[in-house]
């Protein structure tokens, strides 16, 4: 049973005339009649009583008509939904990002995307990079912003990863320090406000301290991003933060003299399947926002773009 056959059947049922139905459907009358006969053969029942000058539905035709109208309406709804999605008037994007990027980069990107495509639903998952890579590889996200491993360890296979930014990590405190630059060794004697386990910044800070030959002490640990900022503002101790977060925090910022204390931000998606139009558009908006920020000089100090694509 074909949609075209159901359209022709509905046209004849509504006009009660084969020629007028053919004119309405813009098809030759013999072709329309042939399709109706083919439908009747497939269903094993006549759909019309055909008498000179009079076309009437049989019982089988009466039973089929409301079903045919429903099927045709559903098909039109499906066509419309697909067109709306293709033209980005509707759809859905599932984006993953670490908490630090949800605080800094992601809001501006989503605002720009929302202005262009207000009908597309945006779902954001906030998690650490390792968890985001796992969820992305399982097909539960369309895109993810991740922090690439410092050890050179490759992300999960089956992902396409594009490095976007290098971002310095900086020391933030409630009051400005006298020194213009901080050393990792300075953290030996300063108990830190530290993120919970799973934060990429925590792992980078611990790795830098251990490379300098000591284990850092914590004034308080286990916080999420907002809690860490609040603890620093309260004077509980300094914290190591990404530069983009620190620039918006209102806290005193001290860069590290050691340029190695930083991180690389990348965008990743599944390599096996093409991105949906909505997800591809979000990726393009992300790149445009970063290029614009670089061009206008609005990237925080120590943050530089790694790709122009």
Q: Are residues 37 and 99 in the same domain?
A: no
CA angle 254, 260, 265 (to 5 degrees): 90
Measure the CA–CA gap between 33 and 55, rounded to whole angstroms. 13
Q: Based on the fold, state whether residues 67 and 95 are members of the same structural domain.
A: no
Angstrom distance (rounded) from CA 183 to CA 179: 10
Q: Does 297 share its domain with 205?
A: yes
Among 59, 86, 113, give the residue marking a domain's end. 86
In angstroms, rounded to a whole number, what is the distance separating the alpha carbons of residues 117 and 281? Answer: 9
Residues 75 and 99 in one domain: no
In a shared domain, residues 77 and 100:
no
Cα distances (angstroms) measured from residue 174 to each of 127, 204, 226, 239, 261: 27, 22, 15, 10, 21
Question: What CATH number does residue 77 fall under?
Answer: 1.10.10.10
CATH code of 259's domain: 3.40.190.290
235 and 101 belong to one structural domain: yes
Last residue of a domain, one of 32, 53, 86: 86
Biggest distance spanned by C-alpha atoms of the chain: 103
Do residue 145 and residue 283 come from a single domain? yes
Kindly give the confidence (pLDDT) of every residue in the chain, 309 residues in length, as a single tens digit, with 9 standing for 90 and above: 799 999 999 999 999 999 999 999 999 999 999 999 999 999 999 999 988 778 899 999 999 999 999 998 888 878 877 776 666 777 889 999 998 899 889 999 999 999 999 988 999 999 888 889 988 988 889 999 999 876 555 556 788 999 999 999 999 999 887 778 889 998 998 999 999 888 889 988 999 999 899 999 999 998 889 999 999 999 999 999 999 999 889 999 999 986 668 899 999 998 888 888 889 999 999 999 999 988 998 888 888 898 754
Domain span including residue 43: 3-86
Q: Are residues 57 and 158 in the same domain?
A: no
Looking at the fold, whether 34 and 109 belong to one and the same domain comes out as no
The predicted pLDDT at position 126 comes to 92
Query: Where among 86, 112, 134 does a domain terminate?
Result: 86
Q: How confident is the model at residue 89, as a pLDDT?
A: 74
Q: Is residue 133 within 8 Å of 159, Cβ to Cβ?
A: yes
Same-domain pairing of 226 and 96: yes
Position 113 scores a pLDDT of 93
| Domain co-membership, 40 together with 163 | no
In this prediction, residue 199 carries a pLDDT of 86
* Number of neighbours of residue 154 by Cβ within 10 angstroms: 10
Q: Rounded CA gap, 112 and 284, in Å?
A: 11
Both 69 and 137 in one domain: the answer is no
Can you give the pLDDT at residue 54? 81
Spatial distance between the Cα atoms of 91 and 97, rounded to a whole number of angstroms? 20
User: Both tokens of residue 105?
Assistant: 């980069």
Task: Give me the number of domains the chain comprises.
Answer: 2
- C-alpha triplet 190, 195, 197: angle, nearest 5°: 120
């Amino acid at each position: 049973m074909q949609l075209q056959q159901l359209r022709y059947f509905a046209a004849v049922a509504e006009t009660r005339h084969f020629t007028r139905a053919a004119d309405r459907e813009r098809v030759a009358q013999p072709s329309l009649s042939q399709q109706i006969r083919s439908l009747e053969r497939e269903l094993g029942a006549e759909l019309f009583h055909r008498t000179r000058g009079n076309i009437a539905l049989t019982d089988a035709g009466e039973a089929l008509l409301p079903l045919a109208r429903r099927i045709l309406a559903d098909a039109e709804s499906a066509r419309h939904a697909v067109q709306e999605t293709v033209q980005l008037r509707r759809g859905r994007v599932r984006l993953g990002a670490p908490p630090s990027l949800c605080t800094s980069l992601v809001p501006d990107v989503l605002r720009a995307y929302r202005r262009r495509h207000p009908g597309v639903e945006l779902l954001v998952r906030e998690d650490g990079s390792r968890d985001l890579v796992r969820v992305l590889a399982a097909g539960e996200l369309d895109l993810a912003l991740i922090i690439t491993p410092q050890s050179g360890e490759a992300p999960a296979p089956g992902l396409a990863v594009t490095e976007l930014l290098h971002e310095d990590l900086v020391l933030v405190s409630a009051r400005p320090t006298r020194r213009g630059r901080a050393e990792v060794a300075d953290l030996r004697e300063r108990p830190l406000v530290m993120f919970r386990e799973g934060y990429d910044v925590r792992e980078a800070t611990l790795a830098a301290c251990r490379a300098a030959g000591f284990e850092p002490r914590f004034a308080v640990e286990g916080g999420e991003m907002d809690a860490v900022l609040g603890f620093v503002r309260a004077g509980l101790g300094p914290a190591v933060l990404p530069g983009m977060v620190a620039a918006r925090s209102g806290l005193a910022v001290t860069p590290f003299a050691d340029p190695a204390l930083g991180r690389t931000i990348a965008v990743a998606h599944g390599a096996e399947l093409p991105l949906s139009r909505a997800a591809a558009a979000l990726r393009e908006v992300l790149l445009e926002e970063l290029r614009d920020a670089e061009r206008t000089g609005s990237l925080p100090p120590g943050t530089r773009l790694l790709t122009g694509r």
